[in-house]
Amino acid sequence: MKLPAPVSLVGLELNRDSVSPLHRQLYDALRHAILAGRLAADARLPSTRSLAGTLEVSRNTVLLAYEQLLIEGYVRGKVGAGTYVANCLPDGFLRLHPTPMPGDPGRVPARPRRSRPGVPALDVSSWKPWRRLLARPPRPFRIGVPALDAFPWKLWGRLLTRRWRSLSPSLVGGKHPLGYGPLRELVAAYLSDARGVTCTADQVILVGGSQQGLDLAARVLLEPGAAVWVENPGYPWVHGLLRAAGARLIPVPVDAEGLDVAAAVARCRHARVAFVTPSHQFPLGATMSVARRLSLLQWAGQNDAWILEDDYNSEYRYRGQPLPALQGLDRNARVIYLGTLSKVLIPGLRLGYLVVPPDLIDAFSAGSFLAGYYPPILTQAVLTDFIAEGHFGRHVRRMRVLYEERQGRLVEAAKRRLKGLLEVDAADAGMHLVGWLARGAGDVEAAQQCAAQGVDVLPLSACCVEKIRKHGLLLGYAAFDERAIVDAVQRMALALQRRTHRPSRQPLSVSLGM
């Protein structure tokens, strides 16, 4: 009996640069084609040997894809003796809307409906480069990453083992909606001593990182359409989070004294919330002056507004003494204080904290419980031991010395290799520096050129709600040793020498730091 001719799979392509295995890509492509009707029932697929030759892949790649389709009921027959599209597809998939393959002009899935009128859908247009970046180990100069090579892993492992062996039902059996009590006590004491924060352990709420803390604050404090002051330039992930919460962003310029309160009042006096980074402004590094702090607190008290204080990188100041936290000056209980332990220790720790005014404890703790924001109790218990036994303080002191050394090495290498391309000066605090591009140079294009050379930098324009005059690049140095820093600066020099000297109008599509 003569077999029917196999169908043509012209146009089928596999991406060898993708993190997805080739057999999985082939399976997905064939499955999509079957569901969309481009491969009809009873159509004969090419033989594994023929298709492998066409796609220039191993025969095993095609075998694995065909076998998975056979197991799931998309095709029938025995691999090697003719493989056909099933004439009765799995029932569960009959209810799915066909999803077009890349480049397919077929049906486009409907956009998800908004959950509340007036709340914009989450903008994911620039998420793909972030997703790619987060899936791989950090490359210089990704921002927000601490020195993983200097973390006391063996010590942490011993503390973890000790806690694991002594687990009790009382520890793991409860939900701990505010967080582990002994750790909250230690955090309150640390913030009082080191940052001048006025609080008790009852006001401390532990969450899974600063982003969760911000999300929780937005849920509790904001109604759709509420106006929020944000620093411009400022923390870009806050901008996205607040937009997703339905807030109306009011960009406020910053200068050497931090957020310009007078300019903010002139733009929108009756904002609901002000988000500020007064100790070390992100990304420019300014410290908010005492006069500005008092003016901001006065505005909040007079307008029944709230201040979200992100105490960004307060642990890492290399010269002089930092000003106490804004919260310590607050006499009207208008400040919600936010901090993170993930950037101080290791990102995978996923631990942050909020200090909330007494009259907001119930609202924040209820919101945390309903959203399941409390971090794993075992991690909290191990961190409790890490702090109580003095390891946290010693680690911060060591990192302060190490980060200052790495910053100095970056500045030295940049002045030698990037002269005329990028102006990089030392800073008094923090884990990143801003490099300023020559006038007329575009930072998005420069970041794209650097990414092509294996260097991840964040364009300053990505931090802006409104455009600013100067273009720059953010360079995180904390996670990288001297050799990596020097090598990355050399590759940046190659990249920046090739760029065109004009601001880019392209959408942001580079690998951004976090």
Nearest one of 108, 51, 105 to 75, comparing CA atoms: 51
Positive or negative, the CA dihedral 372, 377, 381, 386 is: negative
Identify whether the C-beta of residue 185 lies closer than 8 Å to the C-beta of residue 193: no
Residue ranges of the chain that CATH labels 3.90.1150.10: 128-145+394-498
In a 10 Å sphere around its CB, with 0-12 CB exposed, 13-18 middle and 19+ buried, how is residue 404 labelled? middle
For the chain, residues classed under CATH 1.10.10.10 are 1-109
Q: How far apart are CA 387 and CA 393, in angstroms?
A: 7
In this structure, are strands 227-232 and 273-276 parallel, antiparallel, or unpaired? Answer: parallel
Domain made up of 128-145+394-498: CATH architecture: Alpha-Beta Complex (3.90)
How confident is the model at residue 70, as a pLDDT?
82
What DSSP string runs through 95-137? Answer: TSPP-PPTT--S--PPPPPPSSTTPPPP--TTHHHHHHHHTS-
> What is the residue-level pLDDT of the chain in tens, covering all 514 positions?
566 777 778 778 888 877 778 888 898 889 888 888 888 888 888 888 888 888 888 888 888 888 888 877 788 886 556 888 887 766 444 443 444 444 444 443 444 444 444 444 555 555 556 666 666 788 999 998 999 999 999 999 999 999 999 888 877 776 677 899 999 999 999 999 999 999 999 999 999 888 899 999 999 999 999 999 999 999 988 998 999 899 999 999 999 999 999 999 999 999 999 999 999 999 999 999 999 999 999 999 999 999 999 997 788 888 877 678 999 999 999 999 999 988 889 888 889 999 999 999 999 988 888 877 778 889 999 999 999 999 999 999 999 999 999 999 999 999 999 999 999 999 999 999 999 998 878 899 999 999 999 999 999 999 999 988 889 999 999 999 999 999 999 999 999 987 644 444 443 333 333 3
If you classify domain 1-109 with CATH, what class do you get? mainly alpha
Determine the topology of domain 176-373 in CATH.
Aspartate Aminotransferase; domain 2 (3.40.640)
The per-residue pLDDT for 37 is: 82
Chain-centre distance for alpha carbon 257 = 27
Residue 509 has what pLDDT?
36
Q: Give the residue range(s) of CATH 3.40.640.10 domains in the chain.
A: 176-373
Question: What is the pLDDT, as a whole number, of residue 82?
Answer: 85
Taking the model in full, what pTM does it have?
A: 0.73
Please state, in angstroms and rounded to a whole number, the distance separating the CA atoms of residues 348 and 197: 26
